[in-house]
Amino acid sequence: MPIVISYAKEPIGAISVYSGVITGGDVIAHLERLRACEQCTFRIADMRTVTQMSVSLPELHRIAILECSIPDEYKLRKLALVGDTVKYRWLIDTYYLFVERWIGKRRQYETQTFTEIEQAYKWVDLKE
């Protein structure tokens, strides 16, 4: 499985570790599973060991729609993306374009990108 989820208790959150070759379908299926975490205050997407991302524009648009349609009663406040921000700049920029311009800022959570996992842990206030 190219994406493995673990859950933190202090604070409540989900840490997803992506590895190898990741497709848009993998990400979409993963986000569908994460929708069950109503009490998660944060999510970390650790993509440091991804070797290849194969995501089409329609898939990226679907991913943005899923991210923006998290119900208001969910507790999610922070989403940290961790990985090679230079290599995947086009993907990050296009994601933000979809979320902020095409879909609108309906998100109730903040998003940050990081190159180091420790930075993400600190940002979400994760107790290691």
Query: Strand, coil or helix: what is 124?
Result: helix
The mean pLDDT value for 2-17 works out to 94
CATH of 3-124, picked from 2.40.50.140, 3.30.750.24, 3.10.20.30, 3.40.190.10, is 3.30.750.24
- The 10s digit of each residue's pLDDT in 105-125 is 566 788 899 999 999 999 999
Q: Give the pLDDT confidence score for residue 68 in this predicted structure.
A: 82
DSSP secondary structure letters along 77-94: -EEEEES-TTTTHHHHHH
- The 10s digit of each residue's pLDDT in 40-67 is 999 999 999 999 999 999 999 899 888 8
DSSP E strands in the chain: the ranges are 3-9, 12-23, 42-54, 78-82, 110-114
- State both tokens at 63: 């991913």
Pairwise pLDDT comparison (109 vs 20), residue with the higher score: 20
Instruction: Report the percent of the chain where pLDDT is more than 90.
Output: 62
Query: Could you tell me the pLDDT band of residue 72, with boundaries at 50, 70 and 90?
Result: confident
Neighbours of 15 (CB within 10 A): 21
